[in-house]
Every structure is written in C-alpha cells, then in structure tokens.
C-alpha cells in the first residue's frame, strides 16, 4: 500500500523523483574575459527597456531565472544574461554578437530537452520581457510575445472565449514549440501550431526588425514554420484564434496490474475514434521499480459524446481527476513539472498506427529500460503515446512549412523521455534512448509500417539526429533561405538544429 501511494504521488503530482535527484549544483563561476567585455558593451548599447544580469557572488536571482531550464542538463552558466525589452534592442544585441563573433543562446520557455539548444557559456538572451498577448477580434488572431509560456496565453484569451493551437501541458514555451511544429490538443481539428500562424515579428541576423507574413517574405514565412532559430530571433507570433468552450478531461493514474487494459483501450481508441475533438495521451512510466500509466483524456466541449472514452474510464485506477473545466485548468492538471529539476533527454520515433504489437513493444521498452536503468538515481523512464488522427497533417499543404518535410502520410510522433539525477549517467541515458527508438522502429517496420525514414519531430529528437531526418528534402531550401538572410552565419553562434 505504501508503495502504491508513493506511485500515485509520482504519477500524478510527483515530488518523489525530484527528491531522489541531487539538487542542481552550479559550478563555481569562472570569469571569461572576452564574454564579460561583450556583456558590458551590450549593457551600454541597449535602451533602458532592457536589462543585463551578471552571476554575482550571491548568485543574482534574475540571472539564475534567465539561464534556468525545465531539464537542468539544458542549463549552462552564461557570462551574463540579457533580457531585451524591445525588438530594436534585440537588433542591437545581434549586431554586437555578430561583430564580436560571440557565442550566445536564445531562450523562450526553456523546455528544450537537448543540451546547448538554448544555453551557452557566452551571452544568454532570455526573451522574458516579450510577454504581451493581444487579441485581435476583427481578424480572429492573437499577437503573442516570444517570452511567454502557453499557460499565460490561455489565461489571457479565456475572457474572450477564444483559444489558439498550443501546448498540452503546463509550463511549455510558446517560442521553441511554435518554431518547431507544435502538436496540440487541437491538432486533430486544426493541424499543427505552424499551420495556424499568420505572421511573425522577426529580428534578422543583421539587426533589422521585420514583419514576416506569407506575402512580405514567403521564404522566411515558410522557413520559420519548423526552422527554429536559423533566421534570426522572433519577438512576436500572430496565431489564428478559435472559439473556446469549457472542455472535458483530465488525468487518470493506473498501476502495473492494469497496463494490458490500457494497451487495449489505446489501440481501440486509435483505430475507431474519428471525432477530431477527442484525444488521449497515455504516458507509460517506470518509477520506483514498476511500470504505471499517467493518462490524459481530452474532449474539446464541456461533455464528450457517449462511448468514446468508456474503455479508459472502466479501467481500475489509482487516481482520477476527469471533469468539465476550463482549457487552462485542463492543461494545468498534467504532471509536467513532476521531474522539473532533473536532468533529461527526449528522443522519438514516428509511427503510422498504434497496433497491439506496437503497444506491447512500448510496454516492454518501459519495463526493460526501467529495470536496466534503475541504478541511476532519480530515474524515470517514460514513453508518451500520441495517437492523433491519421489526418493530422492534412490541414495544410506539403509546401506550406519547413517541418514536416512530408505530409503524404499521417506520421504520429511518440516521445521517449528519460529523467534522472546523475550527470555521469548522461551518455548511458542518451545511448539507451537511441537503442529504444531503434527497437520501436524495427518493431513497426517488421509489421509493415513504412517509417524507417519517416521525419522525426525536432522538438523530440535527440541532438545528434541527422538534420535530414528532421527536414528531409526541405533541407536544401532551408540552406538557401539561410544563405540569403544570414550570409555570415550569425545565428550559427547559437545552439540548436543548425541548417
């Protein structure tokens, strides 16, 4: 019983993993002369709307907040953090970084799972001051600042009873999510977040502030839909809005003895439910020596039609929090911060369908790697099963976005997530995630799924994934757009998927 209660805590709200993980330790600050000089140059060049923070001896809280990430393994100690307050200041900063050839980072919500993608030992730019949400009722759009997390956007739009196609759980940044693709609770209805964008405010690598739309800069408009930070720094996104009612759903946690029933219900849901307002997200987790499932249910209306979720609701559960609620409340119900403060890595496979064979393999991988890696302190082994409708990519044309490079088939991203507390285990965890992805790929291919070369989602794929697995045949066009707008490769001084 004590074990069961502990598992409940972990699967639902979960402080246990964090308690097992050692607290993040910052290495003693080493002054890096060249970087400090650039920081001071930036500090005197920007307007009073912007701020520069240094890692003082008492570890300045604003600096620590700026450089922090959801996974501590994605954080590095920068020479300084810069919070630009205007797009013009972003331009000034980029010009200085380019002239001095200085490594830098751009951070939105700081949820990148790959180390170095939004961190640096040089100049860390945190977009936190770009925090406005403006609803434009006449054009059914919302202007959303690049420093926001989705929770803020949903809260700001709720009084107007409208919403955008954004993140599914609490705390995820708008910027990296939207620049990579964006799989949402509303994707079955409207496609990816990049499919519902009408414009960007972009600071080009040469410092010029521009508005990018389909008509003003068609190449950049296409490239920013999946092309991350290759073309400059985005300060604002203009997203299409939809009417939003209350929704139905929430979290159910289920223990080891019921997982075959979860597999069966997931297969049946994915093969029979065609209502685009319905979605499920079962996460197969291995914690405290056994597997369990943390299951999110979603219906985009205050009550679901009869039958759709019955199989899931009939499974005996440990905890259940399913009800009619606001969209924001539903997003807040997910245990996304359970492992905040741990190290972490993501990887992914793209599937075409969730068959009994695939679900059995997912459960087997959960147990296999969960047991094998249980020596690593604070380890949580997790597989997020995302059974979208096969039509998920049909809401926009193949040529409309840099990612996904192909919309010929409805590729379904499965997210592999390992959290842990031990830096010395980094390579072990990375290698396990690669092997597990390879195994799931092999299982899918051997049952006839044509996914051996399927595009992999950049916001889930491990850092050394070849670029053409993310961008496919779009890689050449991305390179030529890049050559046009960033000829001296200033954005190459920042980490991420670099074309």
Ligand X SMILES: Cc1cc2nc3c(=O)[nH]c(=O)nc-3n(C[C@H](O)[C@H](O)[C@H](O)COP(=O)(O)OP(=O)(O)OC[C@H]3O[C@@H](n4cnc5c(N)ncnc54)[C@H](O)[C@@H]3O)c2cc1C
Query: Where on the chain is the footprint of ligand NAG (CB under 6 A)?
Result: 101, 140, 190-191, 195-196, 204, 206, 208, 240, 260-261, 264, 364-365, 368, 395-396, 439, 485
Q: Which does 372 bind (CB under 5 to 8 A by kind): ligand NAG, ligand X, none?
A: none
Closest distance of CB 197 from ligand NAG, Å? 8
- Under the criterion CB under 6 A, does residue 168 sit at the interface with ligand X? yes
- Under the criterion CB under 6 A, does residue 111 sit at the interface with ligand X? yes
Using CB under 6 A as the binding rule, the residues of this chain from 114 to 153 that contact ligand X are: 117-118, 127, 146
Closest distance of CB 37 from ligand X, Å? 23
Q: What is the size of the binding site for ligand X (CB under 6 A)?
A: 34
CB nearer to ligand NAG: pick between 60 and 140? 140
CB nearer to ligand NAG: pick between 32 and 323? 32
Closest distance of CB 446 from ligand X, Å? 28
Place of tokens 């068959």: 355
Closest distance of CB 417 from ligand NAG, Å? 17
Q: Which does 261 bind (CB under 5 to 8 A by kind): ligand X, ligand NAG, none?
A: ligand NAG
Pairing label, strands 80-83, 123-126: parallel
CB nearer to ligand X: pick between 95 and 229? 229
Q: What angle do CA 404, 349, 412 make, to 5 degrees?
A: 55
User: Which two tokens mark 97?
Assistant: 């970084």
Are 81 and 52 in contact by the 8 Å Cβ rule? The answer is: yes
Closest distance of CB 396 from ligand NAG, Å? 4
- Under the criterion CB under 6 A, does residue 169 sit at the interface with ligand X? yes
Q: For residue 66, give every residue at least 6 positions away whose Cβ sits within 8 Å of its Cβ, in sequence order, or none.
A: 53, 78, 81, 83, 107, 124, 126, 128
CB nearer to ligand NAG: pick between 198 and 319? 198
Q: Which does 368 bind (CB under 5 to 8 A by kind): ligand X, ligand NAG, none?
A: ligand NAG
Closest distance of CB 495 from ligand NAG, Å? 12
- Under the criterion CB under 6 A, does residue 343 sit at the interface with ligand X? no
Using CB under 6 A as the binding rule, the residues of this chain from 270 to 309 that contact ligand X are: none
User: Which two tokens mark 361?
Assistant: 């393999």
Closest distance of CB 473 from ligand X, Å? 22
- Under the criterion CB under 6 A, does residue 109 sit at the interface with ligand X? yes
Which of the ranges 14-22, 227-235, 303-311, 350-358 carries the binding residues for ligand X, by CB under 6 A? 227-235
CB atoms within 10 A of CB 462: 19
Using CB under 6 A as the binding rule, the residues of this chain from 1 to 60 that contact ligand X are: none
Closest distance of CB 486 from ligand X, Å? 12
User: Measuring CA to CA, which residue among 215, 217, 297 is closest to residue 250?
Assistant: 297
Closest distance of CB 323 from ligand NAG, Å? 26
Which of the ranges 2-10, 29-37, 110-118, 214-222 carries the binding residues for ligand X, by CB under 6 A? 110-118
Which of the ranges 131-139, 167-175, 306-314, 393-401 carries the binding residues for ligand X, by CB under 6 A? 167-175
- For binding to ligand X (CB under 6 A), which residues are involved? 70, 106-113, 117-118, 127, 146, 167-169, 172-173, 175-177, 179-183, 228-229, 233-234, 336, 459, 494, 496
């Amino acid at each position: 019983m004590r074990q069961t209660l502990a598992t409940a805590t972990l699967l639902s709200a979960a402080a246990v993993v964090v308690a097992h993980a050692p607290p993040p330790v910052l290495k003693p600050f080493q002054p890096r002369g060249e970087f400090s000089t650039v920081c001071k140059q930036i500090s005197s060049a920007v307007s009073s709307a912007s701020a520069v923070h240094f890692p003082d001896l008492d570890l300045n809280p604003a600096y620590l907040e700026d450089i922090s990430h959801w996974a501590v393994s994605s954080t590095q100690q920068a020479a300084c953090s810069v919070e630009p307050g205007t797009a013009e200041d972003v331009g000034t900063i980029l010009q200085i970084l380019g002239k001095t050839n200085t490594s830098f980072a751009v951070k939105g919500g700081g949820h990148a799972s790959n180390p170095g993608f939004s961190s640096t030992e040089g100049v860390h730019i945190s977009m936190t001051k770009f925090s406005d949400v403006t609803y434009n009722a006449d054009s059914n759009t919302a202007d959303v600042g690049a420093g926001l997390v989705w929770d803020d956007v949903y809260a700001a739009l709720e009084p107007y009873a409208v919403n955008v196609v954004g993140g599914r759980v609490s705390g995820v940044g708008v910027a990296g999510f939207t620049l990579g693709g964006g799989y949402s609770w509303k994707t079955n209805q409207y496609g990816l977040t990049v499919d519902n964008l009408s414009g960007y405010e972009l600071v080009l690598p040469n410092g010029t502030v521009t508005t990018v739309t389909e008509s003003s800069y068609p190449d950049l408009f296409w490239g920013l839909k999946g092309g991350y930070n290759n073309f400059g720094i985005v300060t604002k996104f203009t997203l299409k809005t939809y009417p939003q009612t209350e929704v139905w759903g929430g979290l159910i946690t289920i223990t080891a003895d019921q997982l075959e029933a979860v597999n069966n219900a997931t297969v049946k849901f994915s093969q029979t439910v065609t209502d685009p307002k319905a979605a499920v997200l079962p996460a197969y987790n291995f914690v405290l020596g056994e597997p369990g499932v943390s299951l999110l249910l979603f219906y985009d209306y205050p009550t679901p039609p009869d039958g759709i979720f019955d199989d899931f609701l009939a499974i005996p559960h440990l905890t259940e929090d399913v009800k009619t609620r606001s969209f924001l409340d539903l997003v807040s119900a997910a245990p996304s911060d359970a492992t905040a403060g741990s190290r972490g890595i993501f990887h992914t496979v793209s599937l075409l369908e969730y068959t009994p064979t695939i679900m059995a393999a997912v459960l087997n991988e959960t147990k296999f790697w969960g047991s094998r890696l249980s020596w690593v302190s604070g380890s949580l082994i997790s597989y997020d099963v995302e059974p979208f409708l096969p039509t998920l990519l049909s809401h926009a044309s193949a040529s409309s976005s840099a990612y996904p490079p192909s919309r010929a088939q409805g590729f379904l991203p499965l997210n592999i997530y390992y959290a842990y507390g031990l830096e010395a285990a980094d390579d072990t965890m990375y290698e396990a995630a690669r092997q597990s992805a390879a195994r799931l790929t092999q299982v899918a291919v051997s049952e006839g799924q044509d996914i051996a070369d399927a595009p992999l989602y950049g916001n889930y794929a491990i850092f050394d994934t070849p670029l053409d697995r993310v961008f496919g045949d779009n890689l050449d066009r991305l390179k030529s757009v890049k050559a046009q707008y960033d000829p001296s490769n200033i954005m190459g001084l920042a980490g991420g998927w670099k074309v």
